[in-house]
Amino acid sequence: MKLPIYGPRLRKVARKHFGWPSLRPGQFKPMRAVLRRRDALVVLPTGAGKSAIYQIPAVLLPGPTVVISPLLALQQDQIAALNAYDDPAVRAVRVSSAETPAQQREAIQEIREGRAEFLFITPEQLSDPERLSEVRALRPGLVAVDEAHCISAWGHDFRPDFLQLGQLIKGIGRPPVLALTATASPPVRDDIIERLGLKNPEIHVSGLDRKNLFLEVAYCPDENYRWRRLTNLLDETNRPGIIYVATRKSAEELAAKLTDAGYPAEYYHGGMSKGEREQRHEDFSADKIDIMVATSAFGMGIDKPNIRWVAHVALPDSPDSYFQEIGRMGRDGEPGRALLLWRAEDEGIQRFFAGGSPDPVELKELAAALRAGPTTKTALKEKTGLGPRKLGQFLALLEQAGAAKAGDGSKWTVPRYAPRPDRAATLAAELFERQQTVQKSRTDMMRAFAETNACRTQTLLAYFGEEVTKVCGHCDNCAEGVAEEVEESTGDEPFAVHSKVSHAEWGEGMVMGYEEDKMTVLFDSVGYKTLAVPVVLEHKLLKAV
């Protein structure tokens, strides 16, 4: 492939300002998209250098770069890394709740005077109309949205504060947008594109197969067997490591049990105070904690290169969550071990967490409150009594139902021709049920991953839409010689991978992959379905779209 002039320019910046002799695989094409001032969505695994995709082109683009990410700790690590170069061309400043008003003014001034290139900021800060005007006046040349899956209601770490980002980006002049994430299945990708308002974006998904990670799964007939397998891992493998559990109570109980058994462990979950969580986060990062037992609340923002293993003592709710969580180990390129210890009962816990349908009365009251005129989330919270997370989820549902719209000045309003509150509540409830159906299918796919005899990497990456024809060699099925290599496409499959199909009952979908005589299709309405190819052909269940 003939590289345009972008290649030498990008490599020169990488060497001169960052000291990097070369670019990593998967970085060049999205960097080129940024320089061409195209919107882009980039899915690269943890540790593959996603930040460099906006950092290097930013030196060549006119105007500063605005970086939006969900965690202050994550921002601080990235800022420290940039400022360690002691180079004005890559200097970074931040505007967040962690800075005093004077520090915030100084940060804006540094960007304005060209003494800094990167402005790290949170969605909450951009929600302030005065701050939005200040950032717009800086005339940014690029907006980078890190951990972009947080904007998606399908994502495993949905953040209600991210819902207005598309509107806020318009408010600062709508420069090109680069969305970055380490894991995004097709529904999450579509949601990111829609919610951020990306314009005909380039989509780059690559390198999701991390060859230094060994994937291992064990079905546990009882808790005693699960305990023995877990302690064997601790005896055999270097530390530090993370043990993921399903509930806060499980985190506390397992940490205590491990400590009593001679494996000193701490726990982490969302029910702890902010100060406690920050201290545990810091202690783990500083190697003061070797074993962290945690719910899914732990991990984002952890840039710790030497995590040697990740164990799941429960079936994750989806391959999305599983992939994100195992991705936190082995960032130094050294071997890492992922061990999933599951029981059939684990699925019952996930069904419980899925919960029941939203209260139609609460949805109707929120839809009615929106009709009173443009209003903030704080005002809506006071008027409806909804908690922040439930309010964010309900607004997301009403937005999809055409009954809510993020407007200027961080205020929510009602779009023209919006359905009446009672109808809006009905539509929102129907959307919730559809999401629950899709989420159940994702849990089903997680169980299918746990039960498969095929190459686990092939099974996992097919879920994310990345086709791998060679067995990985770094999973238990490959090691035991039971995984069979998937033959390259010969054109004999009834439908090509990633082609669109339709089903009489389930509607349109996308073919995600084949395994022996089965095919997996992601349907828009019901999520993932695994179908027997002979049955599909015999009964003509699918049609090409």
Closest CA to 507 of 528, 531, 532, 526: 526
Choosing from 205, 236, 251, the residue where a domain stops is 205
pLDDT at 350: 64
Is residue 161's pLDDT more than 90?
no
CA distances 535 to 85, 184, 305, Å, are: 60, 30, 47
Is residue 501's pLDDT more than 90?
yes
Residue 145 maps to a domain: yes
pLDDT at 1: 40
Q: What is the span of the domain harbouring residue 430?
A: 355-434
Give the residue-averaged pLDDT of 288-294.
96
Give the residue-averaged pLDDT of 9-32.
90
Which two three-digit tokens encode residue 420? 């009446």
> Is residue 61 domain-shared with residue 141, that is, in the same domain?
yes
pLDDT at 456: 94
> Is residue 146 domain-shared with residue 167, that is, in the same domain?
yes
User: Sorting pLDDT into bands at 50, 70 and 90, what band is 2?
Assistant: very low
Choosing from 149, 171, 205, the residue where a domain stops is 205
> Is residue 343 domain-shared with residue 421, that is, in the same domain?
no
Closest CA to 403 of 377, 434, 371, 435: 371
485 vs 58, which has greater pLDDT? 58
> Is residue 410 domain-shared with residue 430, that is, in the same domain?
yes
What CATH number is attached to the domain comprising 519? 2.30.30
Q: What percent of the chain has pLDDT over 70?
A: 94
Residue 341 maps to a domain: yes
pLDDT at 355: 59
pLDDT at 68: 94
Residue 337 maps to a domain: yes
> Is residue 303 domain-shared with residue 221, that is, in the same domain?
yes
Closest CA to 136 of 119, 114, 148: 119
> Is residue 30 domain-shared with residue 178, that is, in the same domain?
yes
Is residue 356's pLDDT more than 80?
no
Q: Name the strand (E) or helix (H) holding 65.
A: strand 65-68
Can you tell me the distance from the alpha carbon of 299 to that of 434, in angstroms, rounded to the nearest whole number? 29
Give the residue-averaged pLDDT of 204-232.
94
127 vs 293, which has greater pLDDT? 293
Residue 171 maps to a domain: yes
Q: Phi-psi region for residue 523, left (φ > 0), alpha (ψ -120 to 50) or beta?
A: beta
Which phi and psi angles does 305 have, rounded to 5°?
-75, -20
Cβ contact 60:22 at 8 Å = no
> Is residue 315 domain-shared with residue 427, that is, in the same domain?
no
- Residues 469-476: contacts with CB under 8 Å, at least 24 apart: 472/209, 472/211, 472/215, 473/211, 474/211, 474/212, 474/213, 474/214, 474/215, 475/214, 475/215, 475/216, 476/214, 476/215, 476/216, 476/217
pLDDT of 26-65, one tens digit each?
Answer: 899 999 999 999 999 999 887 778 899 999 999 999 999 9
Can you tell me the distance from the alpha carbon of 432 to that of 363, in angstroms, rounded to the nearest whole number? 11
Instruction: For the chain, give the mean pLDDT.
Output: 88
> Is residue 523 domain-shared with residue 498, that is, in the same domain?
yes
What CATH number is attached to the domain comprising 300? 3.40.50.300
Q: Is the pTM of this model over 0.85?
A: no
pLDDT of 366-381, one tens digit each?
Answer: 999 999 888 888 889 9
Residue 456 maps to a domain: no
Q: Phi-psi region for residue 247, left (φ > 0), alpha (ψ -120 to 50) or beta?
A: beta
452-476: buried (b, 16+ CB within 10 Å) or exposed (e) per residue? bebbbbbbbbbbbbbebeebbebbb
Q: What amino acid occupies position 359?
A: D
pLDDT of 404-442, one tens digit each?
Answer: 887 766 788 888 888 999 999 999 999 888 888 888 888
Which two three-digit tokens encode residue 25? 């695989």
Q: Show the CA angle centred on residue 159, arms to residues 157 and 161, nearest 5°.
A: 170
> Is residue 228 domain-shared with residue 285, that is, in the same domain?
yes
> Is residue 340 domain-shared with residue 369, that is, in the same domain?
no
Q: Which spans in 127-217 are helix H?
A: 129-137, 165-171, 186-196
Residue 527 maps to a domain: yes
pLDDT at 172: 93
Give the residue-averaged pLDDT of 462-481.
86
> Is residue 37 domain-shared with residue 117, that is, in the same domain?
yes
Choosing from 353, 370, 392, the residue where a domain stops is 353
Give the residue-averaged pLDDT of 255-281.
94
pLDDT at 75: 87
Is residue 160's pLDDT more than 90?
no
Residue 221 maps to a domain: yes
Is residue 490's pLDDT more than 70?
no
Place of tokens 């940014």: 140
Residue 186 maps to a domain: yes
Which two three-digit tokens encode residue 8? 């030498």
Which two three-digit tokens encode residue 310? 């990740």
* SS3 category, 430: helix
Torsion (CA) 249, 255, 261, 262 in degrees, nearest 10: -170
Domain count, the chain: 4
**Would you tell me how many other CB atoms lie within 10 Å of the CB of residue 414?**
23
Q: Which spans in 237-387 are helix H?
A: 248-260, 274-285, 319-326, 346-354, 360-370, 377-384
Is residue 3's pLDDT more than 60?
no
Give the residue-averaged pLDDT of 72-88.
88
What CATH number is attached to the domain comprising 405? 1.10.10.10
> Is residue 60 domain-shared with residue 200, that is, in the same domain?
yes
